[in-house]
Amino acid sequence: MRTIYDIQQLLKKFGTFIYVGDRLAELEMMEDEIRELYQSQCMVQDDYQMAILLLRNEMAVERDRLKGRGLIR
């Protein structure tokens, strides 16, 4: 797993499609879903850790982008 797209494809295999029009909210929802899959033992630890790392990194990038535009504090 190397990209957010890879995470989306993994979620898709489990019937989870996330689109709400707010990128930050989508990333947070993906993190919740990944956590649920891991707790349900549907994911191995390495994939879980990489997915969480990718999502949190992307969330930080998105927050910085929104701060730069003055949309969040």
3-state helix, strand, coil in the chain (%, to 5): 70, 0, 30
Give the pLDDT of residue 67.
93
Phi then psi for residue 60, to 5 deg, are -65, -40
Tell me how crowded residue 26 is: count the other CB atoms within 10 A of its CB: 19
> Residues 7, 26: contact at Cβ < 8 Å?
no
Q: Which residue has the tokens 């390495």?
A: 46
Tokens of 67: 């701060």
List of domains in the chain: 4-68 (1.10.287.760)
pLDDT-based confidence at residue 70 (cuts at 50, 70, 90): confident
- pLDDT tens sequence across 9-52: 999 999 999 999 999 999 999 999 999 999 999 999 999 999 99
Give the pLDDT of residue 1.
86
CA-to-CA distance for 47 and 38, rounded, in angstroms? 9
Give the pLDDT of residue 73.
76
